[in-house]
Amino acid sequence: MEPNENQNYNRKVKTAQSLELAAKVAEVFKLPTFREGLLIAVCFGLLITLLQINLFPRALDIKVGQVSKLDIRAPRDVIDREATKLAQKEAVDNALAIAKQDLNYYLIDETVAKSVTYKLNQFFETINYDRENLGVHEGSSFTKENFQASRYQSYFAQTPDFSLIKSILGLEAEHYQELKEKAYQILARLESDYKITNTNIEAFRDALPEIISEYQVSPKVKEILTGLLKLAVRPNLVLDEGKISKLKNEVMSKVPPVIHRRDDLIIAKNQVVTDNDLKMLNELHLIVDESNRVKVFLSLSLLVLLLVGLVLIYMFQFYSALFRQERMLYLILLLLLLVLGIVKALSLVDSLTLPYLAPVSFASMLMTILVNPQLALAMTCVISLLCGMIVEYNLALSIFFFVSGIVAVLTLVNFSRQRDLVRSGSILMVSNAVTVILLNLLFRTTFDYVSVVLAVGNGFFSAVLAIGSLPFIENIFKMTSPIRLLELSNPGHPLLRRLQIEAPGTYHHSIMVGNLAEAAAQGIGADALWVRVGSYYHDIGKIKRPYFFVENQFGQENPHERLNPTLSTLIITYHVKEGVEIAKEHGLPDKIIEIIEQHHGTDLVRYFYNKASENLSDEKGVLVEEDFRYDGPKPQTKEAALVMLADSVEAAVRSMPKPTPAKIEALIQKIIRERLDDGQFDECNLTLKELTVVKNSFLKILEGSLHTRVEYPEKVLKEMERKKTNASIAK
């Protein structure tokens, strides 16, 4: 090959490979599970990005002892732990100084009583020795010259004087024994029962004569005993460590932390950085520390992954059908990211107050209306947690958004009209105000009136956003709210107008089917509004060939009399496909299209099948039952099954000559039994108990609408006509 040919060949090969790769990628994107997984991954990435914004401010390369080259301000609130400790220590020191003056914070030290009695005992042993060895009586030979004070000083806090020792030595044996006994007894009592401190000890010494007088001491001993006890008594209190520890904890808990608020100056330019300053900078993630950033990022990612995982498990466990509705997932994730983005934007302006204005409950409102209240409650919990994390891990804000979202869901559980949103918004404004007032009292030292005003505005804006965005969201995500359903049920809707004009019999039949199906839906707890609107449109395909259906013939020739049963069956069953096509052309909701498609299921067109069976005996051919059945599918929901039964019952009862309650009940029972035996309810969760409720609901409606009228005799009719004519002439 020539070089140019080689290049062209290689180019073609690469192009073919690229096209093949693109085709494979396209095939992968066609898989719903891949698209949903990709959507969840993108949502997770965006959540992490939102949480990371402004989480790490510009890092500083600064160390202890260096001079700061610029003013450093706090990017968010931070606690000055060193200043807080100093404030706590000062408060504790002041409290201890006061407590040390209060006897309630002291305990009597039992060891003091043992110590002083022990020393008193040693003192008396010394006295005993002196009395025996000095040979003195009445202290006659005991003079100041032979008085050695040091021998007695170690037993008392003060040195005893000469006169006291001489008096004790000079006591007679009887009185000396009394002195010893009373001294032990009174001193033990003083040290065990009285709280004696350095402050009040002199008062106790002065009160000793009164205390001693209670013990019947002889006059010769009393004065000596008083002097001795004044020397022996000592302070006996120690601080109660339990009470002191409790006091310290109480005082420390009452000292508020020293907080540097957002944008407060924490280090001034040219200021020397201290160890405490560096700790605050580290806590604010202002110091270059990649390992810390990675740790925070991974922790935050795992926490968000946990929350998202819990929501997905909850949805899979209770609402697995949502995973087959991609548009629903798109809506949920869009609302999640939208409200979190709004909260983040407001927090960048004002991290403390302005986020209260974020209309987070707007997402709860829309999910309640368009998805379901239970999932809206679960999403409200997750959104509240994430919002609190975004705004500096603000617990008060999380509580506010949680309460606001719950109120929004509860007030819209039975949503059916636009005014319900207005009512919900009004209730939300009041509940938001009450919640923020309580949070202010709980979390703030000063009341923040601005947050209350913003919370009230939050309720108003949430309702306004929900009302304004609902039509757009319905259109973009192809979803249907009760308001949209009410619009579709309006007789002035173009399709219903066409049905009323082009197939009036079918129109009135559909209205009656709607009444029957709605009553049954209310009886079994199905969605009555969906059933009623689905009934109005279930036979919309008949506007293509209305005259082929008996309710629109009005005494005209029946065209089926000239057609063979197989062709007639084809025409009759084809109205389902034509109805689906018309519904799609006019943008009807998918659920209504499903009701149109399923309202006959795979039921047998019995009239033409029986007619074909009668002809079969003459033609001696083979009759295939499947040729006389609708294409289906069978009803997938209770709503579609109710429309099927109501459609069959209404048509059958209308054709009955002189219907009676007994005949109607038997006919309804027969139709239900036929559909049940034919397996038409195999793919929906309609129970036998619910079928009984459906039968009774149908019977009640039909008895009221098909009541027997009075047949007037001919003479009576002529007389009524005559009176009517005379009245007209008189006018």
DSSP string, 404-435: HHHHHHHTTTT--SHHHHHHHHHHHHHHHHHH
pLDDT band at 729 (very low <50, low <70, confident <90, very high): very low
The verdict on residue 28 lying in a domain is no
Mean pLDDT of the chain: 82
Is 147 a residue whose pLDDT tops 80?
no
User: Does 546 share its domain with 468?
Assistant: no
Q: Which pLDDT does position 707 carry in this prediction? A: 54
User: Does 459 share its domain with 575?
Assistant: no
Mean pLDDT of 497-521: 93
pLDDT tens for residues 226-244?
888 888 888 888 888 888 8
Percent of the chain with pLDDT over 70: 83
| β-bridge pairing 78-79 and 259-260 | antiparallel
If you write DSSP's letter for every residue of 501-563 in order, what string do you get?
HH-HHHHHHHHHHHHHHHHHHHHHT--HHHHHHHHHHTTGGGGSSGGGSGGGTTTS--GGGGS
The verdict on residue 178 lying in a domain is yes
Percent of the chain with pLDDT over 90: 26
User: Does 344 share its domain with 471?
Assistant: yes
Q: Which pLDDT does position 288 carry in this prediction? A: 54
Mean pLDDT of 694-702: 92
User: Does 529 share its domain with 586?
Assistant: yes
The verdict on residue 256 lying in a domain is no
pLDDT band at 124 (very low <50, low <70, confident <90, very high): confident
User: Does 586 share its domain with 673?
Assistant: yes
Is 598 a residue whose pLDDT tops 70?
yes
User: Does 521 share its domain with 474?
Assistant: no
Q: Which pLDDT does position 138 carry in this prediction? A: 46
- The range of the structural domain enclosing residue 412 comes to 290-479
Q: SS3 for 682?
A: coil
User: Does 693 share its domain with 643?
Assistant: yes
Determine the Cα–Cα distance for residues 559 and 295; give it in Å rounded to an integer.
80
Asked whether the whole model's pTM tops 0.85, one would answer no
Helix, strand, coil percentages (3-state) for the chain, rounded to 5, are: 70, 5, 25
Q: Which pLDDT does position 142 carry in this prediction? A: 61
Is 80 a residue whose pLDDT tops 80?
no
How many of the other CB atoms lie within 10 Å of CB of 387? Answer: 25
The residue type at 275 = D
Question: Of the residues 428, 463, 479, which one is the last residue of a structural domain?
Answer: 479
Is 351 a residue whose pLDDT tops 60?
yes
- CATH number of the domain bearing residue 389: 1.10.1760
Write out the two tokens for 656: 């009955």
Determine the Cα–Cα distance for residues 603 and 609; give it in Å rounded to an integer.
11
Is 638 within 8 Å of 524 (Cβ atoms)? yes
- CATH number of the domain bearing residue 559: 1.10.3210
pLDDT band at 381 (very low <50, low <70, confident <90, very high): very high
The verdict on residue 29 lying in a domain is no
Q: Which pLDDT does position 188 carry in this prediction? A: 86
Whole-number Cα distances in Å, 253 to 34, 283, 464: 54, 22, 45
The verdict on residue 284 lying in a domain is no
The Cα diameter of the chain in Å comes to: 165
Question: Of the residues 452, 479, 506, which one is the last residue of a structural domain?
Answer: 479
User: Does 548 share its domain with 671?
Assistant: yes
Mean pLDDT of 565-587: 91
Is 551 a residue whose pLDDT tops 60?
yes
Mean pLDDT of 297-318: 84
Least confident of 275-284, 318-327, 520-529, 674-683: 275-284
Is 476 a residue whose pLDDT tops 80?
yes
The verdict on residue 450 lying in a domain is yes
pLDDT band at 290 (very low <50, low <70, confident <90, very high): low
Identify which has the larger pLDDT, 281 or 730: 281
Q: Looking at the 3D structure of the chain, how many domains does it have?
A: 3
The verdict on residue 176 lying in a domain is yes
Whole-number Cα distances in Å, 108 to 114, 243, 328, 510: 12, 14, 75, 96
User: Does 525 share its domain with 451?
Assistant: no
User: Does 341 share its domain with 431?
Assistant: yes
pLDDT band at 731 (very low <50, low <70, confident <90, very high): very low
Q: Which pLDDT does position 199 carry in this prediction? A: 79
Determine the Cα–Cα distance for residues 433 and 451; give it in Å rounded to an integer.
9
pLDDT band at 655 (very low <50, low <70, confident <90, very high): confident
Q: Which pLDDT does position 634 carry in this prediction? A: 92
pLDDT tens for residues 599-612?
999 999 888 888 88
Q: SS3 for 78?
A: strand
Is 512 a residue whose pLDDT tops 50?
yes
Top mean-pLDDT range of 2-6, 342-346, 347-351, 509-513? 509-513
Identify which has the larger pLDDT, 305 or 716: 305
Determine the Cα–Cα distance for residues 589 and 644; give it in Å rounded to an integer.
19
Is 406 a residue whose pLDDT tops 60?
yes
Per-residue DSSP letter, 107: E
Side-chain-facing half-sphere of 172: CA atoms under 13 Å: 4
Identify which has the larger pLDDT, 284 or 544: 544
pLDDT band at 38 (very low <50, low <70, confident <90, very high): confident
Question: Of the residues 479, 508, 534, which one is the last residue of a structural domain?
Answer: 479
The verdict on residue 454 lying in a domain is yes
Mean pLDDT of 513-522: 94
User: Does 540 share its domain with 468?
Assistant: no
Determine the Cα–Cα distance for residues 404 and 359; give it in Å rounded to an integer.
9
User: Does 464 share its domain with 522?
Assistant: no
Q: Which pLDDT does position 64 carry in this prediction? A: 73
Q: Which pLDDT does position 24 carry in this prediction? A: 62
Q: Which pLDDT does position 714 carry in this prediction? A: 57
